[in-house]
Structure 1
Amino acid sequence: MTYAQSADVIEQLMSQLFDMSALAPMPQHGASAETVLGELAQRKAHDPDFHSNHLFGLVYQTERAELERVVAQANEMYLWGNALNIVKFPNLTRLEFEVVAMVGDLLHLPQGGGGTMTSGGTESILMSMLVNRERAKARGVDKPQILAPYSAHPAYAKAAKLLEMEYATFALDGDYRADVGAARAAVTPRTAVIVANAMSFPYSSIDPIPELAALAMEHGIGCHVDACIGGFVLPFLERLGYDVPPWDFRVPGVTEISADVHKYGYASKGSSVILHRDSDWVAHQFFMFGDWPSGLYGTPAVPGARPATTMATAWAVLKHLGIDGYVELTRQAMETTTKIRAAIEAIPDLYIVGKPIGTTLAFGSNTVDIHQVGDVLSDKGWHLDRNVEPPSLHMMVSPGHRLVVDQFLADLNEAVVQGTLSFRGA
């Protein structure tokens, strides 16, 4: 699917979203299980096949059958559980606490820290921004501000809209990392939190987190590190001997970290963790209400009912893989990433954007239309995201890509040739 076609699909879906008359009504009589499941299978067949390993984003394939069995059976075991009521399902709460503790240990959360599970990186960010807003309001700040590098995920802008905060960005340096001088110039008395990336989505860069955290401490405000991608990559790169800049709770001034278990943690979708250096801050996440007929109602995050499956699968995957398992999967993904980077750097028409760290990267071109190269790759069945600043193709490399990397690189070379001919009007 080309970039233009993707825009057409989005427009079509949006038109359907606001015109329900175009969709089939609920049937009067139910269909058999075979009929329903058969139709689902037909529909799924039109979506990309996860196991083809042709997607460089959205899903994270390991091609480990045993791991997939653990995820599937943990899901099935807890399919009907509801984590809304910790009294009725106390073991679910225990699973959540243990997941938070394991991730906290991985990211060097100090004693006295705490956190919760959420449905994903966006909700983790939303909860962190809520906490920082409440702390700023307690200091008398009116309409607190989120201050983020230009490379920050849109979830921060979304949080600002939902929480009625101000959202401000500051510039990046020449390597597409947060510019500390620009951040310092942008801080205002209303700034509640400074955001930093530990593998930014567009460029896979690690911002100068010690400097940004020190700036936050200077002003007595929060410093949220977005490690939704890097949280389950960087700790294992460090163990493999890679040079990883300081970024986690070992850095003074880092107050929160978000990390997705459903990305490079390899759990099923709907699983993230938000960690706070001070467990007292977690109280700002909680919503408690008792002024209604059914007594006290409380939740630690946005949802009321929370699926037990996400807690069970996250717990099961962390226990099943352990540190050694994650180190091995990271090694596999990095070997493939290194091979891809070397091949890209060997193609004169291409360049790597910035100085990426880890298993994600973007590559662009000064001589061909890189998005057209992406369109050719799409026609060949590969799915890469597009960046627009600078125009580039974005890849998130998983362990499963080791099985298809040679074919991908052959197709990439061919796509660049086609893109060059088209660019020159040949």
Structure 2
Amino acid sequence: MFFSALRNVGIHASSSIRATLSSPSNILRRGLSTSLDSTTASCVQKLRDQLRYYAVAEIAGRPFLITQNDKVIVNRLKDVKVGDVLKLDRVRELGSKDYSLVGQPYVQENLYDIQATVIEHTKSKLIQIVKKKRRKNYKLLDSRQLGLIKNIVFLLVLYHYWGRFYAKVIVGGPVRALTDFRDFIKKFVFRQLRKLPSVQAKIDAELNKTIREMEESIFSKEGDITHHHRLPAHGMSQQEVLDNLKKLQNIKCADWKSGKVSGTIYHGGDELTELLAEAYRMFAVANPLHPEVFPGIRRMEAESVAMVLSMYNAPATGCGTMTSGGTESIVMACKTYRDMYKDLKGIHDPEMVVPVTIHAAFMKAAEYFNIKLITVPVDPITYKVDVKKMAKAITRNTIMIAGSVVNFPHGIADDIVALGQLAKKYKIGLHVDCCLGSFVMPFLEKAGLPTTSFDFRVDGVTSISCDTHKYGFAAKGSSIIMYRYPSIRKYQYFLSADWTGGIYASPSVAGSRPGALIAGCWAALMKMGEDGYLDTCQQIIQARRKIQKGIESIPQLHVKGDPIGPVVAFGSVETMNIYDVGDKLSARGWNISPLQNPAALHISVTMLWVNSADQFVKDLKESVEELVTNPDSGKGSTAAIYGTAASIPDKSIVEDVAAGFIDLLYKA
């Protein structure tokens, strides 16, 4: 039968039609084997019945589809018009290669009186018919199971974009979301423009110019010292080495001894420095990786951790390890929570929620350990993290939240009690970054100074980082990371039981570590004692208050938030560029830190500032007065750098400059 081939109609149906009907001469005719007389009515009826299905008629040399009830679907109205009644003299089964119906030899032409009416012009009809045929062979596409899978995929996509919308708009707020969207558009357009050869060439030229200027600034300070790019052919004598060290020590640098550098040098006095140097000499070859060889180092490290735990009111279960600095302490805490909640809760897409003012070490940990970082804005008045928005940002994938006491930019302590309640409610970790507050914040209460709750006495706090090499006055390269329970700390360790070199275990990132720094840290803690740290706390806070009072006395300036620790940050009125103030101070020998978002200047008050605070206030007032009298006297390098950085949508250019600067640090 003509329509037995319909079961083969599928994807290739349309191509078969084109191949078989493009030329009438290609049509093959074959007689119909039947016992019926061709002149009988039954033969005619049989022919008509067969045309009530899907077939193709050739009209004006073009194929047209015939459907039920003798309807013709046209795909070009130039050949026929809608409503025309056609007498069919050539018909072919859809998809057939070797059959056709004509007036001869099947029936006589006078008996072949089948007429078909032309209906509405549409290509979709043909597509729809083909799809109907395909569904017979591909019922799986319409199955309920496949529909369920489609719905699940749709919901996952919706969840993904809803999560991004929630983090940006609900948590960050609509104003911030619009600002971020505007910046995204600018960044996208800028990056597309940057791909243009002419634009890229100009950017590269400016980058190279900037890097050359930085290189000149760095190397010009070195004078005529001898450069060493290869090992000396013959080893130097001890005196020759010392002479070279002396020359390197005398390279021109910032005047830190006079207390004109923000933070950086946390100096506990010449006597303590001599003690640290002697401790380093005694344990110069010690390595805590081998406690059986250096048992004294093991003892000093354990005692240093214990003393800091006591200072932060840790419970009896409190524990910790020593690290190389605040960054490693924070990175280790993030790694610990990632691994712990992967094990305990099965979280494979970890997230951490932190204030936008948190230390950059959290950004580094997020990048290193593939943790999604959710930043929460701070209150524009207090500069403390918005606890309500932090609560909204917590999801089932959240492994930890964090707060600072105090934060680096503005010296503000977040509400750790409120954060502790969140951590308890959602059963997640709470890390308190006390790296900068270190040995000042724990002594505020004993000194009778305003303070806040932040240590292990706060329910919900599970880890704290404290830098012993800042206000603890230990040599650079030591910090303590503390945990409430050993069951948390164990996830910090790296353990390998099947290494070919033997069973390997280390508490932090480093394998071998300098035992001399551990000895120096222990020596500083023992030499200073509680009374020594209490005294330095009082002096440092007094100096900070003096500077803060001086800033508040200048109408054009304002202090950011209400600092309680050793840090103070200040901005300026809109009519004055705060970076110009910084450049004026730099010209007077001061080295203070610029901030951005919002623009401000930052001072970490150290013991060296105790004697220079009055002079700083005097120079600050004079700098502001100069800018008020002559606004054009500003426009220094800092204002230019941060002004340019703020105006560039694509921050990758700023990162390129920063990378170039780091490259210069390793240029001999």
Give the structure-1-normalised TM-score. Answer: 0.92
Q: Does 1:171 align with 2:405?
A: no
- Equivalent residue of 1:196, what SS? strand
In the other structure, the counterpart of 1:322 is: 529
Greater shift, 224-233 or 251-260, is seen at 224-233
Compare CA radii of gyration and give the structure with the larger one.
Answer: 2
| Distance of 1:354 and 1:420 partners within structure 2 | 25
User: Cα distance 1:264–1:409, how it changes in 2: closer, same or farther (>3 A)?
Assistant: same
- The Cα of 1:290 is off from its aligned counterpart by 3.6
Letter in 1 for 2:286: G
Greater shift, 45-54 or 269-278, is seen at 45-54
In the other structure, the counterpart of 1:241 is: 448
| Distance of 1:425 and 1:69 partners within structure 2 | 44
In the other structure, the counterpart of 1:269 is: 476
In structure 2, list runs of 5 or more residues that go unmatched: 1-208, 219-226, 635-668
In the other structure, the counterpart of 2:284 is: 79
| Distance of 2:520 and 2:255 partners within structure 1 | 22
> Which of 314, 317, 326 is the matching residue for 1:109?
314
Q: Does 1:312 align with 2:495?
A: no
In the other structure, the counterpart of 1:66 is: 271
- The Cα of 1:8 is off from its aligned counterpart by 5.2
| Distance of 2:439 and 2:446 partners within structure 1 | 12
The question of whether the paired residues in 2 share the 8 Å contact of 1:170 and 1:178 is answered with: yes
> Which of 582, 602, 606 is the matching residue for 1:394?
602
1:237-274: CA deviation from partner (whole Å, max 9, x where unpaired): 11111121111100000000000000111111011000
- The Cα of 1:27 is off from its aligned counterpart by 3.5
User: Cα distance 1:332–1:301, how it changes in 2: closer, same or farther (>3 A)?
Assistant: same
| Distance of 1:230 and 1:322 partners within structure 2 | 17
In the other structure, the counterpart of 2:249 is: 44
- The Cα of 1:50 is off from its aligned counterpart by 3.6
In the other structure, the counterpart of 1:199 is: 406
| Distance of 1:229 and 1:7 partners within structure 2 | 34
The question of whether the paired residues in 2 share the 8 Å contact of 1:50 and 1:61 is answered with: no
The question of whether the paired residues in 2 share the 8 Å contact of 1:194 and 1:223 is answered with: yes
| Distance of 1:131 and 1:292 partners within structure 2 | 22
> Which of 319, 338, 356 is the matching residue for 1:150?
356
| Distance of 2:614 and 2:429 partners within structure 1 | 45
What is the CA RMSD across the aligned residues, in angstroms?
2.2
The question of whether the paired residues in 2 share the 8 Å contact of 1:370 and 1:419 is answered with: no
Q: Does 1:369 align with 2:564?
A: no
| Distance of 1:336 and 1:5 partners within structure 2 | 37
The structure, 1 or 2, with the larger RCO (C-alpha pairs under 8 Å, 6+ apart) is: 1
- Equivalent residue of 1:81, what SS? coil
- The Cα of 1:61 is off from its aligned counterpart by 2.4
> Which of 536, 542, 551 is the matching residue for 1:335?
542
The question of whether the paired residues in 1 share the 8 Å contact of 2:333 and 2:431 is answered with: yes
| Distance of 2:457 and 2:210 partners within structure 1 | 45
Taking only the aligned residue pairs, the percentage that are identical comes to 38
The question of whether the paired residues in 2 share the 8 Å contact of 1:146 and 1:156 is answered with: no
The question of whether the paired residues in 1 share the 8 Å contact of 2:402 and 2:432 is answered with: yes
| Distance of 2:333 and 2:430 partners within structure 1 | 10
Letter in 1 for 2:277: A
Greater shift, 4-13 or 325-334, is seen at 4-13
User: Cα distance 1:260–1:5, how it changes in 2: closer, same or farther (>3 A)?
Assistant: farther
In the other structure, the counterpart of 1:381 is: 589
In the other structure, the counterpart of 2:420 is: 213
| Distance of 2:335 and 2:523 partners within structure 1 | 29
Letter in 1 for 2:336: V
1:360-392: CA deviation from partner (whole Å, max 9, x where unpaired): 110111142211111121122111001112211
| Distance of 1:125 and 1:243 partners within structure 2 | 26
- The Cα of 1:396 is off from its aligned counterpart by 0.7
User: Cα distance 1:211–1:8, how it changes in 2: closer, same or farther (>3 A)?
Assistant: farther
1:8-47: CA deviation from partner (whole Å, max 9, x where unpaired): 538988xxxxxxxx98344333334333333333333223
| Distance of 1:391 and 1:277 partners within structure 2 | 37
| Distance of 1:90 and 1:238 partners within structure 2 | 36
> Which of 559, 564, 572 is the matching residue for 1:352?
559
Greater shift, 401-410 or 203-212, is seen at 401-410
- Equivalent residue of 2:349, what SS? coil
- Equivalent residue of 1:52, what SS? coil
User: Cα distance 1:135–1:10, how it changes in 2: closer, same or farther (>3 A)?
Assistant: farther
